[in-house]
């Protein structure tokens, strides 16, 4: 049963990722009536929230946008940083939503940030210990390694679940700010498109969390309840 659940979630994840990329491409080609770039939008949102100590940077890569609380930077991909589209404005404001969370000491962001060092260790352990555990499954060592992998998987899964309120809250902050600033998005149609883009982005985090939960359940069944593939 665990394996079937994992396969179903993997298929759903593929569909959601494809849908998100399609939406992002569409809204990246939809001009923003105000003509502002993603950087302009980010700067205005930060300043409107009284934040002047966060740097906005352009970083290489596609969909590489993120907020780094360690060095207080909003990092935007070139297509968002320079873009004058619905997608650029939506993504830029979302990332600034994280900066606002940081400035307001949003508890879920603080918890997630505190988990990062532990998650990095757990992720590295999981990659190697899980594989070795299966190779040595017939021995006691293999079972012990899989127990370690299970512990690491618990940490990774918790992190993916904690990420959900952080991402949804950042989008809500972004959309509320865009709604109140008609100079950015001048019509309800533009705001609706931004909301749609951010909703599909959020769904990628949802299926990622579900995927982690499914892997954890499958490993738990194998270790504690007997492996079941039907």
Contact 171, 202 (CB under 8 A): yes
Task: Report residue 26 as tokens.
Answer: 């569409």
The residues pairing with 56 across neighbouring beta strands, listed in sequence order, are: 74
What residues act catalytically? 95
Residue (of 87, 25, 93, 103) closest to 56 by Cα position:
93
What is the largest distance, in Å, between two alpha-carbon atoms of the chain? 66
Gap between the Cα atoms of 29 and 43, Å rounded:
22
Contact 86, 30 (CB under 8 A): yes
Residue 34: how many other CB atoms lie within 10 Å: 17
Contact 67, 102 (CB under 8 A): yes
Contact 107, 113 (CB under 8 A): no
Gap between the Cα atoms of 40 and 135, Å rounded:
53
Handedness of CA 212, 214, 219, 225 (dihedral sign): positive
């Amino acid at each position: 049963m665990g394996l079937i659940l994992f396969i179903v979630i993997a298929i759903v994840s593929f569909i959601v990722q494809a849908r998100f990329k399609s939406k992002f491409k569409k809204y990246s080609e939809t001009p923003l009536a105000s003509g502002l770039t993603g950087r302009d939008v980010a700067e205005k949102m930060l300043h409107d929230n009284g934040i002047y100590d966060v740097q906005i940077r352009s970083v290489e890569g596609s969909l590489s946008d993120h907020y780094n609380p360690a060095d207080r930077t909003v990092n935007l991909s070139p297509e968002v940083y320079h873009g004058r589209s619905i997608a650029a404005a939506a993504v830029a404001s979302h990332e600034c939503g994280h900066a606002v969370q940081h400035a307001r000491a949003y508890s879920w962001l603080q918890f997630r940030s505190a988990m990062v060092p532990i998650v990095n260790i757990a992720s590295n352990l999981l990659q190697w210990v899980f594989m070795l555990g299966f190779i040595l499954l017939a021995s006691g060592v293999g079972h012990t390694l899989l127990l370690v992998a299970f512990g690491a998987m618990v940490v990774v899964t918790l992190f993916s679940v904690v990420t959900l309120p952080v991402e949804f809250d950042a989008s809500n902050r972004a959309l509320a700010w865009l709604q109140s600033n008609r100079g950015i998005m001048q019509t309800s149609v533009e705001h609706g498109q931004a909301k749609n883009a951010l909703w599909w982005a959020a769904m990628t985090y949802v299926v990622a969390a579900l995927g982690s939960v499914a892997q954890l359940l499958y490993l738990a069944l194998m270790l504690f309840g007997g492996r079941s593939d039907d």
